[in-house]
Amino acid sequence: MTKKTTTRADLTEAVYRSLGISRNESSVFVERILEEISAAIERGETVKISSFGTFSVRSKKLRIGRNPKTGEEVPITPRRVVTFHASHVLKEQINKALARDNATAAE
């Protein structure tokens, strides 16, 4: 298993190779999808991508935390956070890939 990070450029390149459209068109395509997902999340909507997972917004209330250096109690302001839950299909794919990697490493 590699520690590579997939970027927008990587996604654009994959779309370019898969669909055979220009790099510029594939870049616009990827950006538009990401903008649509972001806008829906900003509105507080849940974004469900079949066989991939669900992005949702969760509200966190005011709570008290501690400064790790000083131990001083500090209020943590209320905020909204994005959560992602992988679909069972994605989880199965990840676990199969892990099993393949482990089998390859054992050889």
Query: What are the structure tokens assigned to 84, written together?
Result: 């992602």
Query: What are the structure tokens assigned to 6, written together?
Result: 């997939």
Rg (CA), the chain: 20
> Are 57 and 82 contacting, i.e. CB atoms less than 8 angstroms apart?
yes
List Cβ neighbours of 95 (8 Å cut-off, separation of 6 or more).
Answer: none
pLDDT value, residue 3: 81
**Least confident segment among 2-11, 28-37, 53-62, 65-74:** 2-11
How far apart are alpha carbons 42 and 30 in whole angstroms? 18
pLDDT tens by residue, 5-43? 999 999 999 999 999 999 999 999 999 999 999 999 999
What residues form DSSP beta bridges with 56? 83
